[in-house]
C-alpha cells in the first residue's frame, strides 16, 4: 500500500477502527500475548509499521524504550497526537521515525532491539520475504520478533458470513481480498512465516489467534457497543482464551506469531 493511501485512511484507521469492539479486542489480546514473551522493561522495542502507536505506546507506559517506525507522515502525525496524551515520563521513552519497513535495518542505522513488532502490515505487501528478513535482522540475539497478519486458512469466513456465497467458494483457495478498509490485502500461513523466521535465525515460539467471535458477529450484521464496558471486558476475556486454544485459534481470521532470535553469545 502506498503512503498516499495511508494518508487518506489515517483518520478512519486510528479514530474509528481502534474505537470499535474489534479494535479494543485486538489491542487487548496482542498486549497480553506480548507481555507473556517480551523481556522485562526497560527492554528496547521497535514497532515497524506502528501507525499511531496503539500497540507500542502501552508498552512505553510500562517502562519499555519504544521506537515507532512508519512510512506514512499521516500516521506519524496521529502518533504524535496520541503521544501527547501519555505521561511525560512515558513520552520520553518513545522515538518516532519515518521510513519503509522493508529498509528498517538501514533506517535504524543497524541498531538491534530486544523486541521487534510488526502487526497488520505484511498483508499490504505483495510478498512477505523482504519485510520478514528486515524484522529478524533488527532483533538482537535472544530478541523477540512479533508478527500479526491475516490467516490464509480462514479466507472464506468473511464472505460466507456476509452470504456472498460465490465469493466464499472462491476464497477457499484465495490469498487476497478487499479488506474492511476498502483496500486489497493478502493473507499468510503460520507455517510459511515460521519458515521465513527460521531462515533468518529466529526460532518460532508459538502462535495465537486474534479476532474470532467479534469478527463473525460483525460480518453477520450484529452491532457491538464499545461503550458497554462490562460487555467489552467480557468479550476481550473470551477472545483471549480462544486465541490460545485449538480449534478456536485455527479459525481466527488473524494470527499472531512470535519467535526468538537464536542467541549466539552463549
How high is the pLDDT of residue 223? 86
pLDDT of 9 reads 40
Q: At what angle do helices 190-199 and 129-137 cross, to 10 degrees?
A: 50
Distance CA 179, CA 184 (A): 6
pLDDT score recorded for residue 6: 38
Compute the C-alpha angle 56/58/60, nearest 5°. Answer: 75
Question: What is the per-residue pLDDT across 180-197, written as a single tens digit (0 to 9) for each?
Answer: 667 788 999 999 999 999
pTM (predicted TM-score): 0.90
Grouping H, G, I as helix, E, B as strand and the rest as coil, residue 83 is helix
pLDDT one-digit tens code per residue, 204-230? 999 999 989 998 888 888 888 888 889
Domain residue ranges in the chain: 3-261
> Which residues make beta-bridge pairs with 97?
69
Closest CA to 30 of 257, 191, 226, 195: 257
**What pLDDT score was predicted for residue 221?**
83
pLDDT for the residue numbered 215: 84
Q: What are phi and psi of 54, to 5 degrees?
A: -60, -35
What torsion, rounded to 10 degrees, do the Cα atoms 93, 29, 11, 171 define? Answer: 140
How far apart (Å, rounded) are the C-alpha atoms in residues 238 and 260?
27
Task: Identify the pLDDT of residue 226.
Answer: 85
Which stretches in the chain have pLDDT values below 50? Answer: 1-17
What are the cell numbers at 74?
499521516
For the 3-261 domain, the top CATH level (class) is alpha beta
Can you give the pLDDT at residue 265? Answer: 63
Amino acid at each position: 500500500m502506498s503512503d498516499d493511501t495511508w494518508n487518506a485512511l489515517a483518520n478512519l484507521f486510528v479514530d474509528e477502527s481502534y474505537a470499535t469492539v474489534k479494535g479494543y479486542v485486538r489491542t487487548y489480546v496482542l498486549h497480553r500475548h506480548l507481555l507473556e514473551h517480551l523481556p522485562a522493561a526497560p527492554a528496547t522495542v521497535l514497532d515497524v509499521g506502528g501507525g499511531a502507536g496503539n500497540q507500542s505506546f502501552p508498552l512505553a507506559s510500562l517502562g519499555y524504550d519504544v521506537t515507532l517506525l512508519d512510512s506514512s507522515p499521516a500516521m506519524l502525525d496521529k502518533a504524535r497526537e496520541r503521544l501527547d496524551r501519555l505521561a511525560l515520563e512515558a513520552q520520553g521513552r518513545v522515538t518516532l521515525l519515518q521510513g519503509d519497513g522493508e529498509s528498517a535495518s538501514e533506517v535504524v542505522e543497524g541498531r538491534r532491539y530486544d523486541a521487534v513488532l510488526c502487526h497488520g502490515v505484511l498483508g499490504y505487501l505483495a510478498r512477505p520475504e523482504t519485510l520478514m528478513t528486515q524484522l529478524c535482522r533488527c532483533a538482537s540475539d535472544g530478541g523477540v520478533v512479533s508478527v500479526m497478519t491475516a490467516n490464509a486458512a480462514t479466507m472464506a469466513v468473511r464472505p460466507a458470513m456476509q452470504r456472498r456465497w460465490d465469493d466464499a467458494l472462491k476464497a477457499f483457495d484465495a490469498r487476497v481480498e478487499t479488506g474492511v478498509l476498502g483496500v486489497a490485502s493478502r493473507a499468510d500461513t503460520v507455517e510459511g512465516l515460521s519458515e521465513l523466521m527460521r531462515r533468518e535465525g529466529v526460532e518460532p515460539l508459538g502462535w495465537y489467534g486474534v479476532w474470532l467471535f467479534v469478527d463473525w458477529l460483525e460480518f453477520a450484521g450484529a452491532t457491538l457497543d464499545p461503550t458497554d464496558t462490562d460487555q467489552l471486558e467480557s468479550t476481550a476475556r473470551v477472545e483471549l482464551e480462544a486465541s490460545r486454544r485449538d480449534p478456536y485459534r485455527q479459525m481466527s481470521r488473524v494470527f499472531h506469531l512470535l519467535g526468538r532470535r537464536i542467541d549466539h553469545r552463549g
